[in-house]
Structure 1
Amino acid sequence: MSDQQLQQLIKMVNQIAANQHGEKAQAAQRVAMHLQKFWARSMKARIIAYLDDDGSDLSPLAREAVACLKHERQAG
């Protein structure tokens, strides 16, 4: 996956997170569920790898959601 594709993933997850309202932990869980349902396996793997490598361009809520996604993938 190219750097441009990664930047698009970052933009998308930040937009999804920005559209969540309510309590932060529940919002992060909703974003993680959205990623789990609608993103391709390669997209999820790439955004998790980005979080592990740097993650600095992710909003705080997006960062928490990707961490939730990572945890769910490791547990399942």
Structure 2
Amino acid sequence: MSAHPDDNLISMLNQIALNLGGGRDEESAATATCRHVETFWARPMKQRLMASLARPETGLSATAHRAATLLAKRQEERRTG
């Protein structure tokens, strides 16, 4: 199986979710992870991450997937809101 170009982003998000998740419930950890990405990641990185949600196998942990889903929802709300 070949590596996907966004595997590095996936790996980074999984690590952030793991680091920010210590002692938190999954929803709180996902919210903190989403906030981190919104604050520190460049727009193209966020766009690539959100696009990766369409892949059947993203490699995201449950918390990281929830964070990416929250990010996509917040971005859509900003666009339409």
TM-score, normalised to structure 1, is: 0.88
In the other structure, the counterpart of 1:57 is 59
> Are 2:14 and 2:64, in contact at CA under 8 Å, matched by a contact in 1?
yes
CA distances 1:23-76 after superposition (whole Å, capped 9, x unpaired): 111110000000000000000000110012234301111000000000000011
Partners of 2:77 and 2:58 lie apart in 1 by 25
Partners of 1:38 and 1:50 lie apart in 2 by 19
Q: Which has the higher helix share?
A: 1
- Size of the alignment, in residue pairs? 73
In the other structure, the counterpart of 2:28 is 26
- Once superposed, what is the RMSD of the aligned Cα atoms? 1.2
CA radius of gyration, larger in: 2
Call closer, same or farther: CA 1:63–1:51 in 2, change over 3 Å.
same
1:71 correspondence with 2:47:
no
Unaligned runs of 5+ in 2: none
What letter corresponds to residue 62 of structure 1 in structure 2? Answer: A
Unaligned runs of 5+ in 1: none
TM-score, normalised to structure 2, is: 0.83
Kindly, what percent of the aligned residue pairs are identical? Answer: 34
What letter corresponds to residue 8 of structure 1 in structure 2? Answer: N
